[in-house]
């Protein structure tokens, strides 16, 4: 049982009528380039082309998809290297053994698909993870990571990545992006993304400090709301000059609501004086979001929004290990009323575009597909984060397509900091969409030619359109 044989048709429909149709559609898009307009790979990896470390620090520790399920199955995050700067080689190997001995916990999850695809297709390992095979797999991966073919730039090329966006703080100097742009030996495209969340949350403990820094970096006095606006415009322009195509936003709710300038100024000054209440900070944040939308309608940076996640749900783990450890839990979200003021103002503006992501699947058929089926500026983001998985993807197509068609969706988003999982994530999406299209062909809702054209659009056309590439 320790042999790992991945079936070439995996994730395609089992049905004997649909399988060959799906296979044909999948084969037609399998080798198309990867367009990744939203993710978390550090640009520095590519700029400096530093070799990766051991298998655990590459594949386990930083990937909360992997660590969270081990944690819920009783493994301490510390044993996986989370928050352990002095993790030893022995500890790394032990962590890898923990993963392999708990491998059954991942049955039915996309982590199994991604990880097994990486094992076979990237590392050439055809052994299933078990307690017994852990060391053998670890050593095989470690050996590969020492070769030049496994340096970041070499992998970037071999993965066929056409476009990769990073996610960056507005005050970041984007030095790695600049270094890549200035490097004649580098032919890939890596763009920054403007992620200003913490500058919009005025009740946050670090807000004043962040705003001070924003003032320094932009050279604009951020003592007033007008200054905040000017500083934001300044940094957005800086990002755009370094290749950015989008801004990214995640708050507790999706509301976007303008204040008149006097009220915005009043609340802003309360915040700077650290006397703003949480409710007032929410009001101010919704106005900040409106301001971002107004800027987007002018500079043309695409907005992406993915609201309504309860961050750091377990305070104890946050205290020990910090953020991004798999303890963010989604909440219910509302878009129809929340974004109405934004779309009233900019929904038909020629430069304005916004992509709505959600983990609350209820809004797909009820709110997002109707919005994207009317507003030329609105795109429905594909399933993301927790629901970036085959059956959730199929539910998404089923919920969205009948109202908004295929063309109003964003194209696949890998949203990952696990660089080596990027090909398998895009591959999974292509397989699942091929299966959905095969069903439409099998039910005579599309011709095969229509399905083939649509599959191509989903992989290449949609992300280019939604992200203005």
**Which value, to the nearest 10 degrees, does the dihedral of the CA atoms of residues 197, 201, 206, 210 take?**
60
Beta carbon of residue 354, minimum distance to its own copies (angstroms, whole number): 13
**Residue selected from 347, 381, 411, 423 as contacting its own copies according to rule CB under 8 A:** 347
The answer to whether the beta carbons of residues 243 and 188 sit under 8 Å apart is no
Q: To the nearest whole angstrom, how small is the minimum distance from the Cβ of residue 310 to its own copies?
A: 5
Compare residues 169 and 367 and give the one whose CB is closer to its own copies: 367
> Which one of the spans 148-156, 194-202, 276-284, 384-392 is the region binding its own copies (CB under 8 A)?
384-392
Q: Enumerate long-range contacts of 153-156, CB under 8 Å, 24 or more apart.
A: 153/46, 153/49, 153/186, 153/188, 155/122, 155/419, 155/420, 156/46, 156/188
- In the bound state with its own copies, the residue whose beta carbon lies nearer, of 109 and 126, is 109
- The rounded distance, in Å, linking the Cα atoms of 106 and 66 is 9
Q: Does 68 bind its own copies (CB under 8 A)?
A: yes
Are the beta carbons of 324 and 64 closer than 8 angstroms? yes
Longest dimension (CA), the chain: 69
What is the rounded CA–CA span in Å between residue 279 and residue 149? 53
Candidate list 236, 306, 408, 425; residue touching its own copies; CB under 8 A: 408
| Positions in 142-201 near its own copies (CB under 8 A) | none
Contact residue for its own copies among 2, 48, 50, 108 (CB under 8 A): 108
Binding region for its own copies (CB under 8 A) out of 168-176, 192-200, 204-212, 310-318: 310-318
- Of 230, 233, 386, 417, the one binding its own copies (CB under 8 A) is 386
Binding flag, residue 121, its own copies (CB under 8 A): no
Query: Which of residues 2, 72, 88, 277 is near its own copies by CB under 8 A?
Result: 72
Residue 17 binding its own copies, by CB under 8 A: yes
Task: Decide if residue 6 touches its own copies (CB under 8 A).
Answer: yes
Angle, CA 293 vertex, CA 290 and CA 294 arms, to 5°? 90
Tokens of 9: 């048709």
Gap between the Cα atoms of 101 and 129, Å rounded: 7
Helix or strand run (H / E) with residue 117: helix 110-117
The residues pairing with 310 across neighbouring beta strands, listed in sequence order, are: 329
Size of the site for its own copies (CB under 8 A): 95
Which region among 55-63, 139-147, 253-261, 373-381 touches its own copies (by CB under 8 A)? 373-381
Does position 372 bind its own copies by CB under 8 A?
Answer: yes
Task: Identify the residue among 29, 35, 284, 440 touching its own copies (CB under 8 A).
Answer: 440
- CA quadruple 411, 65, 332, 195: dihedral sign: negative
Among 56, 176, 401, 462, binds its own copies (CB under 8 A): 401
Using CB under 8 A, pick the residue from 1, 182, 262, 279 that binds its own copies: 1
Q: Are 59 and 100 in contact (CB under 8 A)?
A: no
Stretch that binds its own copies, among 31-39, 191-199, 288-296, 367-375 (CB under 8 A): 367-375
- The residues in 235-274 that bind its own copies, with binding defined as CB under 8 A, are none
| Short-list 201, 200, 181, CA closest to 192 | 181
> Angle, to 10 degrees, between the axis of helix 390-404 and the axis of helix 422-442?
50
Nearer to its own copies, 145 or 432 (CB): 432
In angstroms, what is the minimal distance from the CB of 69 to its own copies? Answer: 6
Note whether 351 binds its own copies by CB under 8 A.
no
Check if the beta carbon of residue 120 is closer than 8 Å to that of residue 4. Answer: yes
Give the position of tokens 């913490």.
198
- For the bound state, the minimum distance from the C-beta of residue 386 to its own copies, rounded and expressed in Å, comes to 5
> At its nearest, how many Å lie between its own copies and the CB of residue 427?
14
Dihedral angle of Cα 270, 271, 277, 283, to the nearest 10 degrees:
100
Cα distance between residue 130 and residue 102, in whole Å: 8
């Amino acid at each position: 049982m320790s042999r790992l044989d991945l079936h070439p048709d995996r994730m395609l429909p089992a049905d004997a009528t649909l399988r060959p149709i799906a296979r044909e559609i999948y084969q037609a898009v399998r080798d198309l380039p990867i367009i990744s307009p939203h993710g978390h790979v550090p640009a520095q990896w590519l700029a400096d082309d530093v070799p990766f470390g051991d298998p655990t620090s590459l594949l386990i520790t930083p990937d909360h998809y992997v660590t969270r399920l081990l944690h819920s199955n009783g493994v301490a995050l510390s044993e996986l290297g989370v928050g352990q700067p002095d993790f030893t080689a022995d500890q790394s190997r032990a962590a890898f053994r923990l993963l392999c001995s708990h491998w059954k916990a991942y049955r039915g999850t996309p982590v199994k698909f991604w990880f097994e695809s990486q094992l076979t297709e990237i590392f050439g390992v055809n052994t299933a993870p078990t307690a017994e095979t852990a060391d053998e797999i670890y050593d095989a991966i470690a050996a590969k990571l020492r070769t030049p073919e496994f340096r970041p730039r070499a992998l970037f090329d071999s993965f066929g990545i056409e476009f990769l966006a990073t996610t960056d703080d507005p005050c970041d100097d984007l030095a790695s992006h600049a270094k890549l742009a200035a490097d004649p030996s580098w032919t890939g495209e890596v763009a920054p993304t403007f992620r200003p969340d913490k500058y919009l949350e005025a009740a946050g403990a670090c807000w004043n400090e962040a705003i001070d820094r924003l003032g320094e970096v932009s050279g604009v006095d951020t003592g007033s709301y007008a200054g905040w606006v000017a500083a934001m415009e300044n940094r957005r322009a800086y990002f755009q000059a370094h290749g950015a195509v989008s801004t990214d936003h995640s708050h507790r709710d999706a509301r976007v609501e303008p204040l008149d300038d006097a009220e915005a100024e009043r609340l802003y000054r309360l915040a700077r004086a650290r006397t703003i209440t949480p409710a007032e900070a929410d009001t101010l944040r919704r106005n900040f979001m409106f301001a971002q939308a107004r800027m987007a309608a002018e500079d043309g940076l695409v907005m992406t929004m993915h609201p309504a996640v309860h961050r750091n749900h377990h305070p104890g783990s946050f205290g020990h290990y910090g953020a991004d450890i798999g303890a963010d839990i989604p909440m219910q979200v509302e878009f129809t009323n929340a974004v109405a003021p934004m779309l009233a103002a900019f929904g038909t503006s020629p430069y304005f575009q916004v992509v709505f992501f959600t983990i609350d699947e209820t809004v797909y058929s009820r709110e997002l597909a109707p919005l994207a089926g009317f507003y030329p500026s609105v795109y429905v983001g594909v399933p993301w984060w927790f629901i970036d998985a085959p059956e959730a993807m199929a539910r998404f197509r089923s919920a969205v397509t009948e109202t908004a068609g295929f063309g109003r969706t964003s194209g696949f988003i890998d949203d990952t900091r696990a660089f080596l999982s990027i090909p398998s994530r895009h591959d999974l999406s292509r397989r699942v969409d091929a299966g959905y299209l095969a069903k439409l062909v099998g039910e005579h809702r599309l011709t095969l030619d229509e399905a083939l054209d649509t599959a191509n659009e989903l992989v290449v056309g949609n992300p280019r359109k939604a992200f203005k590439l």
